[in-house]
């Protein structure tokens, strides 16, 4: 079954975690307060250099009219593949937002799951390969 839908928002988000040290006694806080390695105060400090990176997502938020529901899909890997890049630059993200937010698409039900044909999204930014002559 085919449902009408609209892309309402596109967001890129990165996920990471930091080690938090708590309950540092008052007499020991000065070595954390003056350290380049830690941020914080009053006995609670975050290690700035020891962050764990969990990855980045490129969420397309889609409103499905006929179901009156919002679904979110991650198209990061598809965008990277189609553009033959390793990360999504701010220029590419802006291009994707400008060419897709507000766009009407179709969502399908297959095997009880909602699916979307990726070809409906305009995610490939043409590169300008022309050179200026001096």
One domain, residues 94 and 77: yes
Same-domain check for residues 65 and 107: yes
pTM of the predicted model as reported, rounded to 2 decimal places: 0.71
d(CA 49, CA 109): 45
Could you tell me the residue range of the domain that residue 45 belongs to?
Answer: 17-51
* Residue-wise burial string across 64-90, b where 16 or more C-beta atoms lie within 10 A, e elsewhere: beeeeeeeebebbebbbeebeeeebee
- Mean pLDDT for 47-60 is 83
Task: Say yes or no: 84 and 46 in one domain.
Answer: no
Residue at 101 is within a domain: yes
9 within 8 A of 101, measured Cβ to Cβ: yes
- 130: in domain: no
Neighbours of 111 (CB within 10 A): 5
- 9-45 per-position pLDDT tens digit: 999 988 888 878 788 888 888 888 888 888 888 888 8
């Amino acid at each position: 079954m085919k449902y009408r839908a609209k892309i309402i928002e596109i967001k890129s988000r990165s996920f990471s975690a930091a080690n938090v040290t708590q309950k540092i006694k008052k007499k020991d806080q000065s070595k954390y307060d003056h350290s380049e390695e830690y941020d914080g105060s009053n006995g609670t400090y975050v290690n700035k250099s020891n962050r764990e990176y969990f990855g980045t997502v490129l969420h397309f938020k889609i409103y499905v009219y006929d179901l009156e529901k919002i679904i979110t899909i991650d198209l990061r890997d598809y965008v990277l593949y189609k553009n033959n890049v390793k990360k999504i630059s701010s220029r590419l993200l802006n291009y994707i937002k400008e060419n897709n937010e507000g766009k009407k698409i179709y969502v399908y039900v297959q095997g009880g799951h909602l699916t979307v044909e990726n070809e409906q999204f305009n995610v490939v930014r043409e590169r300008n390969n022309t050179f200026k002559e001096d």
